[in-house]
Each structure stands twice: as structure tokens, then as C-alpha cells.
Amino acid sequence: MTDLAARLSAIDSQIADAAHAAGRDDAEITRIVVTKFHPAELVRQLHALGVRDIGENRQQELSAKAEEVALADLRWHFIGQAQTNKAASIRRSADVVHSVDRVKLANSLDRAADGGDALDVLVQINLTDDAGRGGVTPAGAEALAEHILSLPSLRLRGVMGVAPLDEAPASAFARLRGVSDRIRGLDAEATWISAGMTGDFAEAIAAGATHLRIGSAITGPRPDRG
Ligand SMILES: *Cc1c(COP(=O)(O)O)cnc(C)c1O
């Protein structure tokens, strides 16, 4: 077994253990492998190991890799902060956008629709007190979700959050869960909770995460940004 295969299978058993400890079925949890800064070749290796969900946080890297890898059964998740002028490029390459945090971005993604399927989107919630971080405030989440529901080419799937560095992840994820419950009240299909990274995915699973974004624990350390 390669190191990559060993790390992937170790993380998958930890995911299963955390799910069972929380009384959940691990089959309802999607493990996204975040491959940012790694070459496209790594995505191919992951695909050969059965990975189908890939996460990227920069538009240019997403677009270049999706084009280079060109495997039809991969789902590309855009998880980074998005500029509105990159919305069309993001929409072309991504199957899911986790980081919709303002009306303007939602509108730009909607305008970029090309008549194909609706784009799955999540409302990114800022779980920190720092307004400069990505995400809408928990108090502003429902208004943004309502707006997304009015845009025909976007399909609201739920919420996404990153735990702050200066707070126990469990309490941050409980807050995200609260926002998720309110948004599910607006649309019963908006059930996804994208939360949990290398350092906190067990806590995220305990709080109800449906989509984990795991990078370095599976890929190994990220190469320098260059
Ligand atoms: C990089 C990144 C991850 C994965 O981080 P790891 O700690 O390597 O697992 C998850 N979510 C977002 C938004 C990221 O940018």
C-alpha cells in the first residue's frame, strides 16, 4: 500500500469511528479531500483510490486542475474566498461552491449560469468575531439564504464553517449547527453542514457535519505556495 493509500484508509476509519461514537452512520458523511497546492497528479492518484470529492480554495488552481485531470466522475468543491469577477470561472469548474457569503457573489454565480444544471451552493458562516474573515455573520445567514432561494440557477444545500483558532471546535460547530437548523427551516433540502478539517473533523462529526474538508492528514504536508 502506498503512503497515500494508508493515510486515506486511516482517516476513513477515524471518520467511521467518530460517526459511530456519535450514533451516526458514516455512509451519510462525504469526505472531501482538499488538494490545494498539490499537483494534478495527486488528484489522479486519489481518484484511483476511489476518491470522488476534491476540494480547492483558489479559482485559478481549481480551473487548471479540473481541466488537466478531466475525469467526469469527480466532484469539485470550491471552498475558498471568491471574488465576484471570478464567479463565472468558478461556476465552470466547480460542482459545489461552499463559500457563498454575500448577495453580490450569489448574484454573480447566478448570472454565470449557462443553462445547465443548478449549481449546489452553501452559505459560508463566519464563526469568528473578525469581520475580515470569510463568511456571513450567523445573524445575517437567513437573509442570504432567502436571497439564494430566489435565484433559479442556484440550489441551496446548507451551510459551511471553519472553526476559529481561539475557540474549542465543539462550541463553534454547535453554533454552526444552530444556523443550519434555522436555514433548514427555510428549505427542508438545505441539510448539508460542511465542517471539519484535519485537526477537528471528529468534533465536526459529533456536531452533525455531513461534509468534511480534509487536506494534510490525507495528502501529507502542502508544498510551498511558490
Ligand atoms: C485548506 C482547507 C481545508 C483543509 O485543511 P487541512 O487542515 O489541511 O485539513 C479545509 N477547509 C478550508 C476552507 C481550507 O482552506
| Structural domains counted in the chain | 1
Q: Is residue 211 domain-resident?
A: yes
Supply the range of the domain harboring residue 166.
2-215
Tens of pLDDT, residues 65-81: 999 999 999 999 999 99
Categorize the per-residue pLDDT at 223 as very low, low, confident or very high, splitting at 50, 70 and 90.
confident
DSSP-H helix ranges across the chain: 3-21, 40-48, 59-69, 87-93, 103-111, 141-149, 169-186, 201-206, 216-219
pLDDT of residue 224: 74
Neighbours of 48 (CB within 10 A): 12
The residue to mutate among 35, 213, 222, 225, having the most atoms of ligand 1 within 8 angstroms of its beta carbon, is 213
Q: Is residue 89 domain-resident?
A: yes
Q: Is residue 222 domain-resident?
A: no
The residue to mutate among 15, 30, 34, having the most atoms of ligand 1 within 8 angstroms of its beta carbon, is 34
pLDDT of residue 19: 98
Taking the whole predicted model, whether its pTM rises above 0.75 is answered as yes
Q: Is residue 224 domain-resident?
A: no
CA of 103 to the centre of ligand 1 (A): 24
Give the whole-number percent of the chain exceeding pLDDT 70. 99
pLDDT of residue 225: 63
The pLDDT mean for the chain works out to: 96
Tens of pLDDT, residues 40-68: 999 999 999 999 999 999 999 999 999 99
How far from 9 is each of 73, 87, 146, 174, 222, CA to CA, in Å? 21, 34, 39, 28, 19
Ligand 1 atom with minimal separation from the 219 CA: 8
226 pLDDT above the threshold of 70: no
Ligand 1 atom with minimal separation from the 213 CA: 10
For residues 6 and 8, what is the distance between their CA atoms, to the nearest angstrom?
5
At CB < 8 A and 24+ separation, what contacts does 167-172 make? 167/127, 168/203, 169/199, 169/200, 169/203, 169/204, 170/203, 170/206, 170/207, 172/127
Q: Is the beta carbon of 134 within 6 A of some atom in ligand 1?
A: no
Q: Is the beta carbon of 31 within 6 A of some atom in ligand 1?
A: no
CATH number at residue 46: 3.20.20.10
Q: Is residue 225 domain-resident?
A: no
Q: Is residue 226 domain-resident?
A: no
pLDDT of residue 46: 98
Q: Is residue 221 domain-resident?
A: no
Q: Is residue 107 domain-resident?
A: yes
Contact 50, 33 (CB under 8 A): no
Tens of pLDDT, residues 95-121: 999 999 999 999 999 999 988 899 999
